[in-house]
């Protein structure tokens, strides 16, 4: 059997995975917390993205806004990884075969790469452009890509439930 499939099979049969799978209330409750996490993660990421795009919050410098909102982004991300991991564990073999789930994971990876590239390239020189009325193209692009990816991830998440 494929290693990844074996891993999913194992995960689905752990006490935690099967407990969530067999419970009538655990899945919807965890899913609700996952929806709360959307607000925290995508809400705070969008604030920063809108600033990078130059659409809103222009009287805060980018570094100041990043310092305030990054802790919330990370906290939201942690909630999403934990609740998402639990939801996945309860139906891991089903998710293994889901195309939408793979697309969602790829988009999360892409959002991470986008943030990393921004952090190590454009953000290094943040002091030179953060007061400009219009940020450099690479900065605005990072913001647009991030917003599109995160909302795409939310959309894909909703779609998983139907697939």
Provide DSSP, 108-159: HHHHHHHHHHHHHTGGGGHHHHTTSSS--HHHHHHHHHHHHHHHHHHHHHHH
Contact pick of 8, 20, 44, 139 for other proteins (by CB under 8 A)? 44
Binding mask 56-95 for other proteins (x = CB under 8 A): xx----------x---------------------------
Apex CA 41: angle with CA 39 and CA 43, to 5°?
55
Q: What is the spatial distance between Cα 153 and Cα 101, in angstroms, rounded to a whole number?
A: 10
Per CB under 8 A, does 52 bind other proteins? Answer: no
Apex CA 98: angle with CA 3 and CA 117, to 5°?
80
Cβ at position 33, least distance to other proteins in Å: 9
Contact pick of 8, 40, 108, 149 for other proteins (by CB under 8 A)? 40
Per CB under 8 A, does 107 bind other proteins? Answer: no
Residue 87: Cβ within 10 Å count = 21
Cβ at position 30, least distance to other proteins in Å: 11
Residues of the shown chain interacting with other proteins in the complex, contacts defined by CB under 8 A:
28, 31-32, 35-36, 38-40, 42-44, 46-47, 56-57, 68, 151, 154-155, 157-159, 162
């Amino acid at each position: 059997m494929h290693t990844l499939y074996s891993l999913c099979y194992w995960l689905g049969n752990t006490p935690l995975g099967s407990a969530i799978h067999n419970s009538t209330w655990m899945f919807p409750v965890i899913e609700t917390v996952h929806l709360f996490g959307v607000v925290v993660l995508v809400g705070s990421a969008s604030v920063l993205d809108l600033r990078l795009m130059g659409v809103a919050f222009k009287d805060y410098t980018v570094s100041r806004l990043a310092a305030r909102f990054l802790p919330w982004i990370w906290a939201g991300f942690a909630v999403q990884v934990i609740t998402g991991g639990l939801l996945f564990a309860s139906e891991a073999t089903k998710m293994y075969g889901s195309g939408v789930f793979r697309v969602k994971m790829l988009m999360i990876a892409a959002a991470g790469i986008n943030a990393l590239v921004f952090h190590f390239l454009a953000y290094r020189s943040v002091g030179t452009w953060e007061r400009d009325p219009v940020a450099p193209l690479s900065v605005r692009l990072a913001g647009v890509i991030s917003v599109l990816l995160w909302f795409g991830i939310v959309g894909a998440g909703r779609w998983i439930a139907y697939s």
